[in-house]
Amino acid sequence: MKFGVHVPVILAHDEVPPLRDLVDYGIAAERLGYSMIATSDHIVARTGWLDGPSILAAIGGATERIELMTAVLLPVVRHPAVVAQTFGSLDRMTNERVILGVSAGAHHADFDLLGIPWSERWTRLDESIEFLRTLWSEPQPHFDGRFYHADSVGPKPLPARGGPPIWVGSWGSPVGLRRVARLGDGWIASGFNITPERFQAAWQMIATERAKLGKAPEPFDNALASVFVYISDDPNAPRRIARDILGPALGRDPHELLRLALMGTPEACAERLARYAEAGVRRLLLWPAAEPREQIERFAQQVIPLLAEWAD
C-alpha cells in the first residue's frame, strides 16, 4: 500500500491559509515519504473551498517526486477543454507526475451555478473523458459528441505521454463500477462511503467487468481517497472532531463519520487500515481533519511503521 495526503482545501472558518503554507505542506509530505498529494474539487461548498488546480501547480513547482493527483476533479463543471489545457500543461511542467481523478460530483450547487443540468452529469462525464483523451492524443483533434466538439483545434502543447492517466471515481454502485471498468485507468473510492468488505466486492466486480471488455488486469490501480484522519490518544477527540469540524463541513451525521473516519490512537488506526489493505486497497489518501501538518507527520512516524507488512 502506498500512502498519500490530501491538501486541506475545506475551510472550516473564514481564515484562508497563505499559499506558501500549503506549498510547505506539500514539501513536507514529500520529505516524509508520501507518494501522492491530492486535491478535491468543488466550486460551491457548504463552507469555503480552495481551488485545487492552482494549489497543485504551486506544489508541483516546489517538489520533485511526489505525484500530483486530483481525487476528484469535476471536468463537467470546469469543461474538459479547460481541464485538458490545465493538466496537460501541468503534466509537462512536472515531469509527468499528474494523475487525473475525475467524477461527476455530488453537489447540486456546482451545476446550478454553471448552468449545467444536474440530470446530464453522468452522460457528460462519460463524454468528457473521451474528449479529454482525444484532445491529448491528436495534434488536430476531431470530436463530435453530444456536448463537446473539436474541429482540428485543441490546446497545446500536447502531453508527452498522450496525457495523464485518468482514474474514475465511484462510491461503489454497479453502474459506477462499470463506468470505472470501461473508461478508467484506475479507480478512486471514497473513504467515508465504503467499508473494507464493500471495497473488496467492488474491486472484484471491476476486475470481472474489465475481463468482459477484453482489458488486461494490469496496469490498473486503485486509491481510497478522502480518508479523514485524526491521530490522538485523547478518547474524546474523535467525537469532538466529527461533531465540530467534519459534520458541518461535509453535511454528514457525526455518528456516521465516527464509524468511517480514521480517528483514534495510532494502533487503532493501523488496525483499521490493515483491513483495507487486506481488501485490496493499493493507495491511501489521508485527509487531516485538523492540524494538517502535525497529523501527516504523526501518521508517518507512528502509524505507517505499524503497517510495515503492507507498506509499499
Q: Residue 31 pLDDT > 80, yes or no? A: yes
Q: Please state whether beta strands 2-6 and 67-73 pair in parallel, antiparallel, or not at all (unpaired).
A: unpaired
pLDDT value, residue 208: 97
pLDDT value, residue 248: 86
* pLDDT grade for 15, boundaries at 50, 70 and 90: confident
pLDDT value, residue 256: 87
Residue 312 belongs to some domain of the structure: no
pLDDT value, residue 252: 86
CATH number at residue 15: 3.20.20.30
pLDDT value, residue 288: 97
Digit-coded pLDDT (tens) for 220-252? 999 999 999 999 999 999 999 999 988 888 888
Q: Residue 133 pLDDT > 80, yes or no? A: yes
Digit-coded pLDDT (tens) for 45-57? 888 899 999 999 9
Residue 92 belongs to some domain of the structure: yes
pLDDT value, residue 273: 96
Q: Name the least confident of 49-53, 106-110, 181-185, 246-250.
A: 246-250
Q: What is the mean pLDDT of residues 175-194?
A: 96
Digit-coded pLDDT (tens) for 66-78? 999 999 999 999 9
pLDDT value, residue 47: 82
pLDDT value, residue 184: 98
* Domain coverage including residue 76: 2-307
Q: Residue 308 pLDDT > 80, yes or no? A: yes
Residue 116 belongs to some domain of the structure: yes
Residue 240 belongs to some domain of the structure: yes
pLDDT value, residue 249: 83
Q: Residue 100 pLDDT > 90, yes or no? A: yes
pLDDT value, residue 236: 93
Q: What is the mean pLDDT of the chain?
A: 95
Three-point CA angle 266, 270, 274, nearest 5° = 175
Give the chain's domain count. 1
Digit-coded pLDDT (tens) for 148-172? 999 999 999 999 889 999 999 999 9
Q: What is the mean pLDDT of residues 128-156?
A: 97
Q: Residue 96 pLDDT > 90, yes or no? A: yes
Q: Using an 8 Å Cβ cutoff, are 53 and 103 in contact?
A: no
Residue 51 belongs to some domain of the structure: yes
pLDDT value, residue 209: 97
Q: Residue 203 pLDDT > 80, yes or no? A: yes
- For residues 35 and 44, what is the distance between their CA atoms, to the nearest angstrom? 29
